[in-house]
Structure 1
Amino acid sequence: MRSSLSRRASHRASRRLRAAATVGLLGATLLGAGASPASAAPDHARHTRYYLALGDSLAAGYQTLPGGGSEVGHGYAQDLARTLQARAAAAHRGFSFTDLGCPGETTGSMLGGGCPYPHPFPGSQLDAAVAFLKAHHKDDLLVTLDIGANNVDGCAAGGSLDAACAVKGIATAGKDLSTILDRLRAAAGPHTRIVGMNLYDPFLAAWMTGPQGKVLAGLSVPLADSLNATLGLVDAAHGIPTADVAKAFSTNAFLPLVPVAGQQVPLNVARIMSWTNMSRGDIHANDTGYQVIADAFLAKI
């Protein structure tokens, strides 16, 4: 009897010890998981974040200077890169920025090469971009793209709007952008995010030149809307968000009237005059306008 009781007591003690060991092991496991969250994070979360800017003169950060001459490397991509670098630093991550934007680039030259401004790639910008994406296929990579403005820039020259030129330019921009995004998406890795952009309307500045200019400014908005609708539709078809620069610049807002240079002008005209260099005939954004564009991208990232 005593031997039987002893055996039962020993068996119960053994079960209690095994249960305690199991609880202790589980507790240590949970404590370890709580104490080291970084160890459970995917590898790419601890690595450098890359930013690749693609496009035309806006991506390149082109501006004319008040005293004459021009500069590149001072635009929305640089503004965006500063913000992304600060975010990466706060997360104790590295950051790398590459800008392939080329002033004068059209959708056609982006595909086939021949950008008229000195550029850092030997062939086409798209070929260079695809090579970059493949080289960083496993990395955390943001790509921004603006293209298409130079397809229609010449359609509102000389104080009049060439509708046939505009229709052709918009159609070409849409077709080529689809090819560009096809190739970018095919080369993109699992942690690559591509964001497109629509465009402000610099020809609204014609409003400041008198009655004929007001007509041209009014006609330019449907042109901008058509181009932007095309860019947005192509982006959406490829699953690409579009930074709404047109909205940020109030492109369709002919009211309210606000004071500029001693006269009351529509809000959309005022923003073009304040956020671009059109006061000296340069369609490119100024520092304020480039920051507005960067903020429009940030809203989609």
Structure 2
Amino acid sequence: MVGAGLALVAAVAVSVPADAGYVGQFHVALGDSLSVGVQPRLAGVAAGNRHTPDGYPNQLDGALRKAGARVRLAGFGCSGATSTELVAGGRCAYQGAVSQLDAALRFIGARPDRVSLVTVDIGINDVMRCLAGQRVSTPCVRRGLAAVRRNLPVTLRRLRAAAPTAPVVAMTYYDPMLATYPSTPAYARRTGAVFAELNGIITAACRRTGARVADVAGAYGTTELTRTEVLPDGRTVPVATARVCRWTWMCAAPPVGPNLHANTAGYRTIARAYGVASGLPTDWG
């Protein structure tokens, strides 16, 4: 994910675990910074982001293994990736492949009967750049949404063809900018409309291609602006705002926040949504 005031993790060469001697199944994960567990650096050090082992793919795999699955993560995610970069490349490097999608398809093709799950999160970076400075650039949003509408069906269709027996699951997004509500209600309504359209595009792409939808937006209560909760600081805010504050770093004080990435509890919420959508047995105890 990228956004105003949010430092990126430097682009790096992405490698996946070797499977020499391993005879179990793989969870192939594609996506943006959420797929690699990005969180802000701790207070007291330079501002910026870091990869963590607490992302939703890792937490989901833990729940799958606890339920009895023999599964290992093959992660291809790239922090900051757009839907175009996932398909065509241009941000992270993959040995022997031109893009994240190409690398994942090559990996699946080499062991098609050993992929038990494919997860994808992509699309927010196509529009997040359009929401900077508490302003919404409509032309920018139109271009970003058009890119997701063009690229996501291609991505899901190719993954489904490569792994026809595995669940292929994409996610809807929470709206991190709801952290500013109710102090900026007009802006929050506009970003809410952007995320509603983005999530509609993602859901439609899944339906057309036979992929499944992890309802992360629903888990975060992204459209819940009527019911309220009380934050630890005593403020009464809509449920959507409370959950963004609770499960991301958007309400954290500088230099850690505001940062739109999920925290460990937020990644667990995302992982659980993927688990439900996958239909695979999980144990979250």
- Common fold by TM > 0.5: yes
Give the Å deviation of 1:140: 4.5
Determine the structure 2 residue equivalent to 1:78.
58
Among 266, 269, 279, the alignment partner of 1:292 is: 269
1:119 CA displacement: 6.5
Amino acid at match of 1:48: G
1:185 aligned onto 2:137:
no
2:181 is aligned with 1:220: no
Select which of 87, 91, 95 maps to 1:115: 91
What is the aligned partner in structure 2 of residue 169 from structure 1? 144
For structure 1, list consecutive stretches of 5 or more residues without a partner in the other structure. 1-46
Cα deviation per residue 1:225-264 (whole Å; 9 max; x = unaligned)? 1000000001110011100000000011112122123321
TM-superposed CA distance for 1:177, in Å, is 0.6
Distance 2:263 2:179 in 1: 14
Listed as ranges, the matches of 1:47-86 within 5 Å are 48-67=24-43, 68=45, 69-72=48-51, 73-86=53-66
Q: Distance in 2 between matches of 1:257 and 1:119?
A: 45
Q: Distance in 1 between matches of 2:35 and 2:115?
A: 20
1:69-115 deviations in whole A, cap 9, x for unaligned?
432132111110111122235xxxx3221111110010111111112
Q: Map of 1:92-111 to 2, 5 A cutoff?
A: 94-111=70-87
Counterparts of 1:54 and 1:270, CA distance in 2: 28
Alignment of 1:199-278 (within 5 A): 199-207=173-181, 210=183, 213-260=184-231, 261-278=233-250
Partner of 1:114, secondary structure, is coil
SS at the partner of 1:138?
helix
**Percent of matched pairs sharing the same residue:** 34
Aligned AA for 1:156? L
| Worse overlay, 105-114 or 255-264 | 255-264
Q: Distance in 2 between matches of 1:120 and 1:169?
A: 28
Q: How many residue pairs get matched? A: 246
Give the Cα–Cα distance (whole angstroms) in 1 for the partners of residues 39 and 97 of structure 2.
24
Task: State the shift of 1:184 in Å.
Answer: 1.4
Check 1:245–1:124 CA distance in 2 against 1; reply closer, same or farther (3 A cut): same
Moved over 3 A (4+): 118-122
* Contact 2:160/2:211 (8 A) holds in 1: no
Work out whether residues 137 and 187 of structure 1, in 8 Å CA contact, stay in contact via their aligned partners in 2: yes
Instruction: Give the SS at the match of 1:284.
Output: strand
2-structure distance, mates of 1:248, 1:120: 36
Q: Which has the larger radius of gyration?
A: 1
- Amino acid of the residue matched to residue 119 of structure 2? T
Rounded to whole Å, the distance in 1 between the matches of 2:32 and 2:269 is 17
Q: Secondary structure at the match of 2:112?
A: coil
Q: Secondary structure at the match of 2:277?
A: coil
One-letter code aligned to 1:144: T
* AA in 1 matched with 2:155: I
Aligned CA RMSD, in angstroms, stands at: 1.8
- Is the CA contact 1:49–1:88 (under 8 Å) kept in the aligned structure 2? no
Measure the CA separation in 2 of the matches of 1:222 and 1:167.
Answer: 12
Q: Whole-Å Cα distance in 2 between the matches of residues 160 and 140 of structure 1?
A: 42
* Alignment-derived partner of residue 38 in structure 1: none
Distance 1:98 1:171 in 2: 29
Residues 121 and 253 of structure 1: CA distance in aligned 2, closer, same or farther (over 3 Å): farther
Deviation at 1:63?
A: 0.6
- Unaligned runs of 5+ residues in structure 2 are 1-22, 252-256, 279-285
**Counterparts of 1:88 and 1:136, CA distance in 2:** 21
> What secondary structure does 1:192 align onto?
coil
CA–CA distance in structure 2, aligned partners of residues 120 and 292 of structure 1: 32
